Amino acid sequence: HSHAQDGRSNYTRTCEYTCPDGFQGNLTTLVCEKCNQSCHTVCNSLNTVITNHTQLQSLKNCNTINGSLEISLDIDWKLRYYLEYLEDVQEITGYLFIYRCHGLYALNFLKNLKEIASDPREPLWQNRYALALFDNPDLSHLWPG
């Protein structure tokens, strides 16, 4: 990253999807701008089922996910680490669907999630559910407490 004199971080000539910690992307100016106190990052849904760590990584530092979030993973020690990339998510405007996640014991990686299906224009899962959990044989707690 190149840093401007005013503390902003400019995009490089390569395709770049994230700003460094403490910075927030401005889609109009294509500049990473330093956050005053805390950043509120809005990310678009991947419009696909999350099945690997690269997809999880693309949602790192997201506070709001525009759209729905579907997760289907075989959780091992490495993926358990990458699930923590979702710990900043506070809002999902669509539905949350978690299915066939072997090795998933709790949803503690979503510990800051406050609202699901916050946008009435977004479809629900099967037009009925904001949260759907299916075929997660090891899931014993939603959130530890």
Residue 109 CA: distances (Å) to CA of 6, 17, 53, 75: 35, 22, 14, 12
Amino acid identity of residue 93, one-letter, is: T
For residue 80, what pLDDT is reported? Answer: 86
86, 110 contact by CB (below 8 A): yes
Q: What is the CA radius of gyration of the chain?
A: 17
Q: Residue 88 — left, alpha, or beta (φ > 0 → left; ψ -120 to 50 → alpha)?
A: alpha
Global confidence as pTM? 0.74
Per-residue pLDDT reduced to its tens digit, 4-31: 444 445 545 445 456 777 777 776 777 8
The residue behind tokens 């004199």 is 5
